[in-house]
Structure 1
Amino acid sequence: MSLLDFVYYAFFSVVSIQVVIYIVLFGKFSFSKQKKQSAKKIAVSVIVCAKNEAKNLKTFLPSIISQEYPDFEIVLINDASTDNTLKVMEAFKKEYNNIKIVDVKNVEAFWGNKKYALTLGIKASKNDYLLFTDADCKPVSKYWIKDMTAHFSNQRTIVLGYGAYSKIKNSLLNKLVRFETLVTAIQYFSFAKLGIPYMGVGRNLAYAKKEFFDANGFINHIQVRSGDDDLFINQVASKNNTAICYSKHSFTESIPKTTFKDWFKQKRRHISTAKLYKVKHKLLLSIIYTFTLLFWVLALILLPTLFNWRIVIILFFSRIFVQYLVYGFSAKKLDEKDLLRILPFLEFFLVFTQLVIFINNLISKPNHWK
């Protein structure tokens, strides 16, 4: 058997396995329908942790204040900001009596650790159900709290939401940022649908306060600067206690990075926590990524050589078609349909960028959150 024969059979195997992954795993979310949930009359604390976010708070906090929900407080955490963040918070507090401020000073043992600030904010909150977002986020509708909390029940104490990034016209980087966010959402929603939830995003995440205290907060990974969202959910989420919410009113929208350098640094921080996931999650995620990488590497070897080119092309486009089908349904659910036009290019660029990030993280540690 020649080397090209080996590559050809490997490519056939990779495509076959990927088709199964797309249909069986990702299809669990893509082909599902969100069941309409009845609104819950539960008191909610919305937690917003901000570090040097004065401008963003002025812009986005009104969209939280104006939520149509009967009983909620807003806990604003000033994480040792050096700008006017605290003054902006205090100005809002004077106008709205459901705002509570937690002013966090730097403590040497927890320097630059968002988890310390969040812990103080959670402890200061008065309600049993917590809804998290970031200072540079805005709910896309006035029914954000209503839709997210509707998924709570006696059994379901964790709700995973979708945190989108705003669209920027004629920006290839913006499409890449949003594509990576879409792929991540497809993964964590699909895993949750299969009963093996592994992460959530702090831009749009809810859980009962009891979950936090039963797990002793972030103590198991307090030394890791990132992971207040994904590592915590990886620790406490289970088949029985986790729900997902992807109704259009439940989305949040954040400001995306506008330079590749800034986005690269952000993703280095995000990816650095994955090594601390449970073994089963790391294994499944590694398999998904490895087969995606192999698909492109083997295709790049086979296509230029024209080795069995008819079958190779059929295999290549069959896999692309299945991906379009599965991602298409997901993109429609999550309002990201414009990304489908250049899907293969976005995936190609993303998979090799992630490889570079993995290598960089092995060489040096990423910086903290601000």
Structure 2
Amino acid sequence: METTLFILFIAFLVFFVIQFVYQSFVFSRFSFVKPKKETLKSVPVSVIVWAKNEYENLVTQLPVLVTQNYPNYELVLIDDASNDETLDLFEAYEKQYSFVKLVKVKNNEAFWGNKKFALTLGIKAAKNEYLLFTDADCRITSENWILEMTSHFSFKKTIVLGYGAYNKIKGSVLNKIIRFDAVISAIQYFSWAKIGKPYMGIGRNLAYKKSEFFNVNGFINHIRVRSGEDDLFVNEAANTSNTTICYSPESFTYSEAKTTFKEWLNQKRKETSTKKHYKSFDKLQLGLYFISQLFCIILAIILLSFQYNWIIVSSVLGFRYVFNWIVFGYGAAKLKEKDIIVWYPIFEIILLITQIRLAFTNLIHKPEHWK
């Protein structure tokens, strides 16, 4: 028994060290970075908005998009075979504004309901080399959104990763969990991009040059994967030299979070099933972080239950929580999510349990074709 506990103790320390390395040398690269003021640019940009049956959201979204504080942009509106009033609204805007271009997508047998097919048509129709993406159900709160995102383009930096936040729902614990999950994800992909290993982005707030799209033959390598028009593209096209990040508050987009646990789980299943298509290194680093996180906590509980080196174990575990909490807190503050910082220890456990559940669910039941 003593030998077993000693092995578990060593394993616990190893997992703690792995966690410490992630927090100190990866995630801190975003959390503790000092904001750098970029030179404002006015490169010709095409803003691409994909929509399918989003009339109600577009009524509030489009007025913000056509009044951006930017001198040289076109607005490419993609109607993906909507059956509500989306197309009528788009046509009205195309008639009213000369810089609005409408792309009508009709369903076909080969790419039925495939968002990547619709986006490809929109990208090909865009007249400008620089592209900026968002979805119809996103809310843009600043007239300087385009200005902030495009200011990070340079001769070398041709992919800009932005942050997509979720609207706050007062008194909702689920809403806080979803926003906590989004912040954790953002800290991770921003941090890896900072150290030259970008692996994902979000289509709700993403910019890149058209040439990057064609360099990897668009979405062709994952066209049959219903999700991943954002993260799988970035995973394939991004590299050490061509990717940068934008996290100024005026660049944020906001979406409605799921309001039921079941809906959120389905969304997480979609994200989890997409990650299996990442590059090997990216799957390895994500998997190693999750495993070290999980077993650091589990082994600590086991060792403490047997009171084995309990002073060392409790001290190491306490240090881990304090240090991780600080790194997360600074990152969350940068993303204007201060209200969830206090929940870190509890929500970390909830997310771990959720990830374990999703892993078993996806193993037993193959995910459906996502819309």
Q: Does 1:357 pair with 2:355?
A: no
Find the aligned partners of 1:368 and 1:82 in 2 and give their Cα distance.
20
Q: Percent same amino acid among aligned pairs?
A: 55
Equivalent residue runs for 1:29-48 within 5 Å: 29-48=30-49
Q: Does 1:321 pair with 2:326?
A: no
Find the aligned partners of 2:226 and 2:39 in 1 and give their Cα distance.
37
Do 1:148 and 1:206's aligned partners in 2 also have CA atoms closer than 8 Å?
Answer: yes
Runs (5+) with no aligned partner, structure 2: none
Residue 143 of structure 1 corresponds to: 144
Equivalent residue runs for 1:164-175 within 5 Å: 164-175=165-176
Deviates more, 1:6-15 or 1:112-121: 6-15
Residue 282 of structure 1 corresponds to: 283
Find the aligned partners of 2:370 and 2:96 in 1 and give their Cα distance.
30
Question: Match of 1:177, as an amino acid?
Answer: I
Find the aligned partners of 2:320 and 2:351 in 1 and give their Cα distance.
17
Question: Match of 1:150, as an amino acid?
Answer: S
* Runs of 4+, deviation exceeding 6 Å: none
Q: Does 1:218 pair with 2:216?
A: no
C-alpha distance after superposition, 1:128-184 (max 9, x if no partner): 110001111122311110011011111111001111111111111111111111111
Q: Once the 2 structures are TM-superposed, how far is the Cα of residue 79 of structure 1 from its aligned partner?
A: 1.0
Residue 346 of structure 2 corresponds to: 345
Q: Does 1:75 pair with 2:82?
A: no
Residue 61 of structure 1 corresponds to: 62
Deviates more, 1:210-219 or 1:78-87: 78-87
Find the aligned partners of 2:269 and 2:75 in 1 and give their Cα distance.
30
TM-score computed with the length of structure 2 as normaliser: 0.96
C-alpha distance after superposition, 1:91-127 (max 9, x if no partner): 3333322221111111111112110000011111111
Indicate the SS of the match to 1:273.
Answer: helix
Find the aligned partners of 1:211 and 1:326 in 2 and give their Cα distance.
33
Find the aligned partners of 1:67 and 1:6 in 2 and give their Cα distance.
60
TM-score computed with the length of structure 1 as normaliser: 0.96
Find the aligned partners of 1:304 and 1:340 in 2 and give their Cα distance.
28
Find the aligned partners of 1:303 and 1:171 in 2 and give their Cα distance.
33
Indicate the SS of the match to 1:37.
Answer: coil
Do 1:74 and 1:99's aligned partners in 2 also have CA atoms closer than 8 Å?
Answer: yes
C-alpha distance after superposition, 1:186-231 (max 9, x if no partner): 1111111111111110010000011111211111111111110011
Residue 185 of structure 2 corresponds to: 184
Find the aligned partners of 1:332 and 1:130 in 2 and give their Cα distance.
28
Q: Once the 2 structures are TM-superposed, how far is the Cα of residue 74 of structure 1 from its aligned partner?
A: 1.2
Indicate the SS of the match to 2:276.
Answer: helix
Residue 200 of structure 2 corresponds to: 199
Equivalent residue runs for 1:93-112 within 5 Å: 93-112=94-113
Residue 162 of structure 1 corresponds to: 163
Q: Once the 2 structures are TM-superposed, how far is the Cα of residue 369 of structure 1 from its aligned partner?
A: 4.1
* RMSD between superposed Cα atoms in Å: 1.4
Deviates more, 1:337-346 or 1:4-13: 4-13
Q: Once the 2 structures are TM-superposed, how far is the Cα of residue 80 of structure 1 from its aligned partner?
A: 1.5
Runs (5+) with no aligned partner, structure 1: none
C-alpha distance after superposition, 1:276-304 (max 9, x if no partner): 11111111111111111112222332344
Residue 210 of structure 2 corresponds to: 209
Q: Once the 2 structures are TM-superposed, how far is the Cα of residue 34 of structure 1 from its aligned partner?
A: 2.5
Find the aligned partners of 1:61 and 1:298 in 2 and give their Cα distance.
52
